[in-house]
């Protein structure tokens, strides 16, 4: 049974079909790349999976359970984690405080800083451990808003690790990251995937996609053109013609 299954999902907004009959079954532990030109519907697919938008037809299942109509927080509690194309950090808090808040969210507790559990030291130690795992140990007391773009992305991944989701959606994790930070961030994504977590990643940098994923899903005009191994996808004539014109 796939951990995540998308069955004939369509999203119609006004007169526009933004997703058109998309079906995709993702086995547990897979790392799936999602590629396609700008406006293809990649972020919208993540929105429909995570509950930001509701599919107008079709079904989304997590571990066999239908979540199509469930709100974001219910899907998060069921084990779905995601990052956004733009950052979602508390810029005025330290890196450690951000990770602690993420861990609190997972626990379903209060998100106000004053309401941390009494085991504050233990929570802090755990947060610092997650930061060390993504290579941000030296930045644990840094204010999140002051971190470099690459380090912000690493912090977001440390926050995801603290929430320990089973299925993770990463929307353009390399966007705005300097090329010097790319290898380190790839390693952090590998760690995130480690231990059986399933990862779906929208990414334009093809060397990142090819270096990380098991399969690649190709979207174009709201449709899924192909989903296969990187080699098979790159050799697929339909995919090649969709990319003619160079939009990526």
**Which residues are at the interface with ligand ADP (CB under 6 A)?**
13, 18, 36, 38-44
Tokens of 139: 């930045």
Closer by beta carbon to Mg ion, 103 or else 170: 170
Closer by beta carbon to ligand ADP, 14 or else 64: 14
Report what 230 binds from ligand ADP, Mg ion, none; CB cut-off 5-8 Å by kind. none
Residue in 6, 19, 24, 31 binding Mg ion, rule: CB under 5 A: 31
Angle between helices 95-107 and 120-133 (to 10 degrees): 110
Closer by beta carbon to Mg ion, 1 or else 38: 38
Gap between the Cα atoms of 1 and 164, Å rounded: 21
Q: Measure CA of the first residue to CA of the last residue in the chain; give whole Å.
A: 33
Number of residues that bind Mg ion (CB under 5 A): 4
Gap between the Cα atoms of 72 and 138, Å rounded: 33
Nearest distance from C-beta of residue 85 to Mg ion, angstroms:
5
Report what 198 binds from ligand ADP, Mg ion, none; CB cut-off 5-8 Å by kind. none
Exposure on the CB side of residue 174, measured as CA atoms within 13 A: 22
Tokens of 100: 């602690």
Closer by beta carbon to ligand ADP, 138 or else 247: 247
Query: What's the residue count for the chain?
Result: 248
Nearest distance from C-beta of residue 39 to Mg ion, angstroms:
8
| Cα dihedral sign, 192-76-54-152 | negative
Report what 44 binds from Mg ion, ligand ADP, none; CB cut-off 5-8 Å by kind. ligand ADP
Residue in 3, 24, 43, 181 binding Mg ion, rule: CB under 5 A: 43
| Cα dihedral sign, 141-113-87-190 | positive
What are the start-end ranges of the E strands in the chain?
4-13, 16-26, 31-35, 57-62, 65-66, 80-82, 167-171, 198-202, 215-220, 223-228
Nearest distance from C-beta of residue 193 to Mg ion, angstroms:
6
Closer by beta carbon to ligand ADP, 16 or else 244: 16
Closer by beta carbon to ligand ADP, 110 or else 248: 248
Report what 31 binds from Mg ion, ligand ADP, none; CB cut-off 5-8 Å by kind. Mg ion
Question: Residue 16 phi/psi, 5° resolution?
Answer: -95, 135
Closer by beta carbon to ligand ADP, 71 or else 92: 71
Question: Residue 94 phi/psi, 5° resolution?
Answer: -75, 165
In the complex, which residues of this chain contact Mg ion (CB under 5 A)? 31, 42-43, 214
């Amino acid at each position: 049974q796939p951990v995540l299954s998308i069955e004939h999902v369509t999203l119609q907004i006004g007169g526009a079909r933004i997703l058109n009959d998309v079906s995709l079954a993702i086995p547990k532990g897979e790392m799936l790349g999602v590629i396609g030109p700008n406006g293809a519907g990649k972020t919208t697919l993540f929105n429909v999976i995570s509950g930001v938008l509701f599919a107008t037809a079709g079904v989304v299942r997590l571990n066999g359970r239908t979540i199509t109509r469930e709100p974001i927080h219910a899907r998060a509690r069921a084990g779905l984690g995601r990052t956004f194309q733009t950052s979602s950090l508390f810029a005025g808090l330290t890196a450690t405080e951000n990770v602690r808040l993420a861990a609190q969210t997972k626990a379903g507790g209060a998100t106000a800083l004053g309401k941390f559990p009494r085991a504050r030291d233990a929570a802090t130690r755990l947060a610092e451990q997650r930061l060390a795992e993504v290579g941000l140990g030296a930045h644990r007391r840094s204010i999140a808003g002051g971190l470099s773009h690459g380090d912000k992305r690493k912090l977001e991944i440390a926050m995801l690790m603290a929430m320990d989701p089973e299925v993770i959606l990463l929307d353009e994790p390399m966007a705005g990251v300097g090329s010097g930070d790319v290898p380190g961030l790839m390693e952090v994504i590998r760690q995130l995937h480690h231990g059986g977590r399933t990862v779906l990643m929208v990414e334009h940098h093809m060397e990142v996609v090819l270096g990380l994923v098991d399969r690649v899903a190709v979207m174009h005009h709201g449709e899924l053109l192909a989903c296969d191994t990187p080699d098979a996808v790159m050799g697929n004539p339909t995919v090649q013609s969709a990319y003619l014109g160079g939009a990526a």
